[in-house]
Amino acid sequence: MKYKTQIEAARKGIFTKEMEYVATNENINRELLIKEVSNGRLIIPGNKNHKNIRPVAIGELSSTKVNVNIGISKDCPDKDVELKKVKKAIELNVDSIMDLSCWGDTRDFRQNLVEVSPCMIGSVPMYDMIGNSGKALKDLTKDDFLKCVKDHAIDGIDFMTIHAGLNKKTAQRVKRNRRLTNIVSRGGSLLFAWMEMTGNENPFYEFYEEFLDVLYEYDVTISLGDGCRPGSIHDATDASQLEELITLGELTKRAWAKNVQVMVEGPGHIPLNEVKTNMIIAKKLLFNAPFYVLGPLVTDIAPGYDHITSAIGGAIAASSGADFLCYVTPAEHLRLPDEDDMIEGIMATKIAAHAGDVARKFPGAIEKDNNMSKARAELDWEKMISLSINPEKSYKYRQSAKPDKEDTCTMCGEMCAVKNMNKILSGEEVKIS
């Protein structure tokens, strides 16, 4: 084989079948696509062992993508329930599914997930290692870390969250600059604890090149995790977050040098007025590598509604440089989301992603809104429903309260502004009965 990864192929001028699919699907010029993949600003995650994957691009040239989190835990160990959620997420046309499993037979679940999903699959090896190594956290070794990453690569995972930026230097920054919510990243907190208990450097950082060699072999994209992402708006844009971000930029360049595709994860909780600033700083320090954000949530007071707080921040983030949005559900901070929570989270995040695409004038985005507006102007309810982001829900609402006359709805009835404007501009008399 002349290449092992998409970035290596692009640097050799090879137009892969994955690039061809993306170029057609997102209407990207062939030469420009090769250029953007070669310089790391566009990635096409796809493990060579994930045979049924539908290639997806993440980066400045592509539409904003949406990720869904699923996974089994000790309190919610039913794999069938999670696989049912996976099938629903695929039906709703998400771009990515991330397995956050941390208990039980995670490998069997992971392999099933890769087998059934055409969406790209992500994982966090740190969770799996803790749950299945049979060792206490402090007894884990670099070889345990490396074995877990290899297992995930062999199983077909397309991108892995690796918390390589939370090194001893950053850990000292965390201790000197105490936060309201400390470290809220699960993987980041485990690594911080491991470093404190052992006195050793983070293996993901100390032996970074060895991990990159594994990722290169299978064309796994490294998703550089932000162990110091803020868990409250009070802690946003602080010294710990920025210290780690600088390190993540350095690690990005080292991965590119090894022909490994890279994206970088970002916050978290950010007040509304700092979202755009965070995106600009991150893109600058990360050399315009694709940026993946959780939310961000713009207030901390809305448990049960955090899909909304997340969508507000996500829309601003997507319009300001974020390339990939991780969904947040109404269950965030409260419990593992069920299927209904997942659906609400997906829809909220897809709305945010589309709003961001419209704001940044992504080709074809505004046309979707214009088509909906045209259908509304024509009072074409069937077309409005078909064009909506969730036709099933739109249809249920329409059917639940049928109007007296089909060309109106039960809100305005004969006082419908659209109907009456159409009439008066056509020279007809408007009568309200």
Confidence at residue 383, expressed as pLDDT on a 0 to 100 scale: 97
Residue 307 predicted with pLDDT over 90: yes
Averaged pLDDT for residues 290-313: 98
Known binder of ligand: residue 186? yes
Distance CA 279, CA 237 (A): 11
Of 347, 349, 357, the C-alpha closest to 321 is 357
Residue 433 predicted with pLDDT over 90: no
Averaged pLDDT for residues 283-309: 98
- Chain-centre distance of CA 14, in angstroms? 28
Residue 1 predicted with pLDDT over 70: no
Known binder of ligand: residue 327? no
Known binder of ligand: residue 265? yes
Known binder of ligand: residue 119? no
Known binder of ligand: residue 132? no
Known binder of ligand: residue 234? no
Distance CA 303, CA 229 (A): 19
DSSP string, 74-101: SSS--HHHHHHHHHHHHHTT-SEEEE--
DSSP string, 166-210: --HHHHHHHHHS--SS----HHHHHHHHHHHHH-PPPHHHHTHHH
Q: By CB neighbour count within 10 A (0-12 exposed, 13-18 middle, 19+ buried), where does 417 fall?
A: exposed
Known binder of ligand: residue 110? no
Known binder of ligand: residue 167? no
Known binder of ligand: residue 69? yes
Q: What is the pTM of this model?
A: 0.96
Known binder of ligand: residue 148? no
pLDDT over 70 percentage in the chain: 100
Confidence at residue 203, expressed as pLDDT on a 0 to 100 scale: 98
Confidence at residue 133, expressed as pLDDT on a 0 to 100 scale: 79
Averaged pLDDT for residues 335-341: 97
- Over the stretch 62-95, which tens digit does the pLDDT of each residue have? 999 999 999 999 999 999 999 999 999 999 999 9
Of 92, 217, 207, the C-alpha closest to 145 is 207
Strands 291-294 and 324-326: parallel
Known binder of ligand: residue 326? no
Mean pLDDT score of the chain, rounded to an integer? 96
Of 218, 243, 298, 263, the C-alpha closest to 46 is 218
CA torsion sign for 420, 358, 267, 273 is negative
Which residue's entry shows tokens 């996976």?
Answer: 86
Domain 47-52+60-359 has CATH 3.20.20.540: yes
Averaged pLDDT for residues 315-330: 98
Known binder of ligand: residue 134? no
> In sequence order, which residues have a C-beta less than 8 Å from that of residue 156 and are 6 or more positions away?
47, 49, 50, 51, 111, 114, 121
Confidence at residue 129, expressed as pLDDT on a 0 to 100 scale: 85
Confidence at residue 134, expressed as pLDDT on a 0 to 100 scale: 83
Distance CA 330, CA 15 (A): 42
pLDDT over 90 percentage in the chain: 95
Distance CA 331, CA 341 (A): 6
- Over the stretch 245-268, which tens digit does the pLDDT of each residue have? 999 999 999 999 999 999 999 999
Residue 283 predicted with pLDDT over 70: yes
Known binder of ligand: residue 409? yes
Alpha-carbon dihedral angle through residues 196, 198, 204, 209, given to the nearest 10 degrees: 140
Averaged pLDDT for residues 285-313: 98
Known binder of ligand: residue 98? yes
